[in-house]
Amino acid sequence: MADGPLNGYSALELCTSPGGAYCGKLLAMFGADVVKIELPGVGDPARGAGPFPEGLPDREKSALFLHLNTGKRSVTVDWRARTGARLALALAEYSDAVVCDLTPAEEQATGLTPETFARANPRATVTSLTAFGRSGPWKDWRWTNMTSFAAGGQHYLTGDPDREPLASGGLQAEYQAGLHAFGATLAGLYWTMRSEVGQGVEVAAMEAQAGTLEVALPDYAYRGADGLTKRRGNQQSALIGVYPAKDGHIGIHCMPKNWPQLMKAMDSEWMIDDERFRDTRARLQHGDEILARFFAWSATVTKREATRIAGETRAPISPVNSIEDLLADDHLRARAFFRDVEHPAAGRVTHPGPPARMSLTPASVAPAPLLGQHTVEVLSGTLGLSHAEITLLRQQGIV
C-alpha cells in the first residue's frame, strides 16, 4: 500500500466533476484509501471524455478518467435512488473524509447533504466542491469548466484586448478548485486530530479564482482604478509575454532584478545602462523598443537554444513546451518525473508524477480503477453485506 502521509486514512468521493475527481486523486496519491462512487453502467462522465487509444471509445481507457482517478477504488452505487443514497451514507461511516460536488438542490433531492453525512459520521471532514458554493442566488446553477472560468474572473482577463475573452486550455477552473478542495480537506482532517469531531468545508471554484487575479483585483479594490482590469493579450507588458521563436514560441517574464541577465542573454548589454531602460518605470515608458528587441531576438533562436542561453545567463526565459516536449524533456527525465503505470484495460500509460515530493512520505501513482472493480470488495468487506444481499442490490440496479 501507499506510504503517503495519509496512509491509514479513508475518503469517499461522490463527484462527477473533474475538480472533484482531482481532489480525490490527490488524496489517493498521498496515501488515502479513496472509494469513488460511480453510477452503475455509466460511471464518471470522464470515462466518456477520452482521448482513447486508437480513438475507439471505451469507458476503461479514457485518458481523462485514467489521469483523474489514479489510485482509487471504484464502487458502483446509484446514489440517486433511496437505497443507493443509504449505501453512500453507510460508506461515509467508514470514511475520514467525504468529498461531494452536488449542488444544494441535488443534496436535498438525494438526502446526501453535509448534515446527513455528519450524522452518519460525526468525525468526518465533509468537503463540498462546487462552482458557486452552497449559498447565494447562483448556488444551484449548472456548471462546466468554462462557465466556472467565466464566473471566476480568469476568463475575462485572458485573451486579446480587441477579441473575445479566451478560456485557458484543458480544465483549468476544475483543477484549481480540486486542488483547493484537497488542501481544505487536509486542513479539516488535521483539525479533527485535535477536536475529535468533523466539520463541513466548502470550496467554490468561482471564489478560488476571484482570489487569484494577481495584481489586477487588489489594485482595483484598493484604488478603484480599472487600468489593470482589462485583457492584455500575449504580451501583458513589454516585460512579460509570449514571443515567436524559430520553431515555436518562448516566454519571457522579466522582474526588475532580471533586466541585466536578460539583456546579456539577448546579446544586448548596451541596453543595461541605457537611460531609456534605467529602471522599471523607464522600461515601461520605452516598452515598444523593448518589445521590438524581444521579438527580433526570439525569432533568431529555437526553443532549445533559448533554454540553453537562459540557463547560462540565468535569465527568466522559458520554452513554450508542447505536451510532446514535456515527455521528451531532459530535465524532467533526469528527475524521473513521469510514471509509467500498467492499467488492466488500457495497458501501459504515462502519468505525471506527484505535484510535490515528500522526503519521508512520498506520493504514489497507481492505476485508475475499472468501473465497479471494487464494488463487491467494499460492500462485503467494509459494509459487511452478504453476497446474496449484493446480488439483490444488483438485480434492482442499485449497484
Residues in region 39-78 near another protein by CB under 8 A: 49-54, 61, 63-64, 66-68
Cell of 53: 487509444
What residues between 194 and 233 interact with another protein by CB under 8 A?
A: 194-197, 199-204, 206-208, 210-223, 225-232
Binding mask 331-370 for another protein (x = CB under 8 A): xx-xx-xx-x-----x-xxxxxxxxxxxxxx---------
Residue 259 phi, psi dihedral angles, 5° rounding? -55, -50
CB of 107 to another protein, least distance (A): 14
CB of 383 to another protein, least distance (A): 26
Considering beta carbons, is residue 41 or 381 the nearer one to another protein?
41
The yes or no reply on residue 250 touching another protein (CB under 8 A) is yes
Which three cell numbers mark 73? 477504488
Show the site string, 295-324: x = touches another protein by CB under 8 A, - = not: ------------x--xx--xxxxxxxxxxx
CB of 85 to another protein, least distance (A): 21
Per-residue contact flags (x/-) with another protein for residues 370 to 389, judged by CB under 8 A: --------------------
Among 79, 132, 294, 297, binds another protein (CB under 8 A): 132
Q: Least distance to another protein from the beta carbon of 211, Å?
A: 4
The contacts of residue 235 (CB under 8 Å, 6+ apart) are 241, 242, 243, 291
Q: Which is nearer to another protein, 34 or 379 (CB)?
A: 34
Question: Long-range pairs for 364-367 at CB < 8 Å and ≥24 separation?
Answer: 364/2, 364/3, 364/4, 364/29, 364/31, 364/71, 365/29, 365/70, 365/71, 365/339, 365/341, 366/2, 366/28, 366/70, 366/71, 366/341, 367/66, 367/70, 367/71, 367/341, 367/342, 367/343
In the complex with another protein, the residue whose CB is nearer, 312 or 377, is: 312
Number of residues that bind another protein (CB under 8 A): 164
* Interior/surface letters 36-55, b for 16+ CB within 10 angstroms, e for the rest: bbbbbeebbbbbebbebeee
74: phi then psi, degrees, rounded to nearest 5: -110, 130
The answer to whether residue 240 forms part of the interface with another protein (CB under 8 A) is: yes
- Prior bond to 51 cis, omega within 30? yes
